[in-house]
A and B are shown apart, each in its own frame.
Chain A
Amino acid sequence: MLTQRLLLSDRGGMIVLGLVLVTMILVPICNLLVPETSALHISTFTVTLLGKFLCYALLALSIDLIWGYCGILSLGHGAFFALGGYAMGMYLMRQIGPRGQYGDPILPDFMVFLNWKELPWYWQGFDMFWFALLMIIVVPGILAFIFGWLAFRSRVTGVYFSIITQALTYALLLAFFRNEMGFGGNNGLTDFKDILGFPIAASGTRISLFLASGFMLIIAYIACRYIVTSRMGKVIVSIRDAETRTRFCGYKVESYKLWLFVFSAILAGIAGALYVPQVGIINPGEFSPLNSIELVVWVATGGRGTLFGAIVGAFTVNYGKTVFTSYSPETWLFALGALFVIVTLVLPKGLVGLFNRTKKVASKNSSSNTPPENPVPTTDAPIKFAVNKSTENSISAENPVIAAAVKEPV
Chain B
Amino acid sequence: MRNVLKPSGHWLLHVIVVLSFCFSATVFSQEAETSAEAGTTSAETISANVSNEANSQPEFDSLVKELTQGSLPARAQTAKKLAALKDERVAKIIGALQQGTLYATKDENPLVAIADEAGNYTNAISGEKIIGDTEELKRVPINNSMRSQLRTLLAQLNLTHQDATIRLDAVNRMIADGIDEDSISLLQELQKSEANDGVRKAIDSAVALFNLHSNDQQLRLGAIEVLKDSLQQEVRTALSEVASNDTDEKVKIHAQLAIKAIDSSIAKYRFAENIFFGLSLGSVLLLSAIGLSITFGVMGVINMAHGELMMIGAYVTWVVQQVFPNQIAYSLAIAIPAAFIVAGLVGIAIERGVIRFLYGRPLETLLATFGISLILQQAARSIFSPLNRAVELPVWMSGSLQINPVFSITYNRLYILIFGLLVFFALLVILKKTTLGLKVRAVSQNRAMARAVGVRANWVDAMTFGLGSGIAGIAGVALSQLTNVGPNLGQAYIIDSFMVVVFGGVGNLWGTLVGAMGLGIINKFLEPYAGAVLAKVLVLVLLILFIQKRPKGIFPQKGRAAAD
- Whether A19 is near chain B, meaning CB under 8 Å from some CB there, is no
Residues in B neighbouring A344, C-beta threshold 8 A = 358, 364-365, 367-368, 371
The prevalent SS among residues of A at the interface is: helix
How many residue pairs at the A-B interface have CB separations less than 8 Å? 202
Q: Does B537 contact A (CB under 8 A)?
A: yes
Asked if A56 is at the interface of the complex by the 8 Å CB criterion, the answer is no
C-beta contact mask, A275-314 vs B, less than 8 Å → 1, else 0?
A: 0000000000000011001001100100000000000000
B360: chain A residues at CB < 8 Å are 383, 393, 396-399
In the complex, what residue of chain A is closest to B498 when comparing beta carbons?
A163
| Contacting pair A395 B362 (CB below 8 A) | yes
A405 at the interface (CB under 8 A from B): yes
Cα A407 to Cα B372 with chains together (Å) = 30
Is there contact, CB below 8 Å, between A343 and B502?
Answer: no
Contact assessment for A159 and B378 in the assembled complex, using a CB-CB cutoff below 8 Å: no
- Cβ–Cβ contact B446 & A333, under 8 A: no
Interface residue tally for chain B (C-beta within 8 Å)? 72
Given A170-B495, A345-B358, verify A340-B533 contact (CB < 8 Å). Answer: no
A404 touches B370 (CB 8 A): no
Interface residues in A348-399 by Cβ distance below 8 A to B read: 348, 379-380, 383, 392-399
- Given known contacts A289-B495, A407-B445, A337 and B373 CB-to-CB distance under 8 angstroms: yes
A167 near B499 with CB under 8 A, answer yes
- The answer, yes or no, to whether A23 is at the interface (CB within 8 Å) is no
Known: A333-B374, A407-B441. A168 touches B428 (CB 8 A): no
CB-defined contacts of B175 to chain A, threshold 8 Å: none
Q: How far is the CB of B285 from chain A (nearest CB, A)?
A: 14
Q: How far is the CA of A68 from the CA of B507 in the complex (A)?
A: 28
Asked if A338 contacts B375 (CB within 8 A), the reply is yes
Instruction: Indicate whether A247 reaches chain B with its CB closer than 8 angstroms.
Output: no
A401 within 8 A of B: yes
- Cα–Cα, bound, A160→B550 (Å): 11
The answer to whether the Cβ of B526 comes within 8 Å of any Cβ in the partner chain is: no
Q: Please give, as numbers and ranges, the residues of chain A lying within 8 Å of B362 by CB-CB distance.
A: 158-159, 392-393, 395-396
User: Could you tell me the distance in whole angstroms from the C-beta of A77 to the nearest C-beta in chain B?
Assistant: 14
List residues 349-371 of chain B with CB under 8 A from any CB of chain A: 354, 357-368, 370-371
Residues of B within 8 A of A156 (CB): 547-548, 551
Q: Which of A40-87 contact B (CB under 8 A)?
A: 73
Interface: A32 (CB within 8 A): no
Structural contact, A406 and B371, CB atoms closer than 8 A: no
A400 (CB) vs chain B CBs: closest residue: B446
14 example contacts (A-B, Cβ-Cβ < 8 A) are as follows A150-B545, A164-B547, A171-B541, A175-B534, A178-B533, A334-B374, A341-B368, A341-B371, A379-B361, A392-B361, A401-B560, A401-B563, A403-B561, A406-B445
User: Nearest 3 CB-CB pairs, A to B?
Assistant: A340-B371, A405-B557, A337-B374
Residues in B lying within 8 Å of A, measured CB to CB: 297-302, 304, 354, 357-368, 370-375, 377-379, 382, 428, 431-432, 441, 443-447, 461, 491, 495, 498-499, 502, 506-510, 533-534, 536-537, 540-541, 543-545, 547-549, 551-552, 557-564
Q: Which residues of A contact B (CB under 8 A)?
A: 73, 147, 150-151, 153-156, 158-160, 162-164, 166-168, 170-171, 174-175, 177-178, 289-290, 293, 296-297, 300, 330, 333-334, 336-341, 343-345, 348, 379-380, 383, 392-410
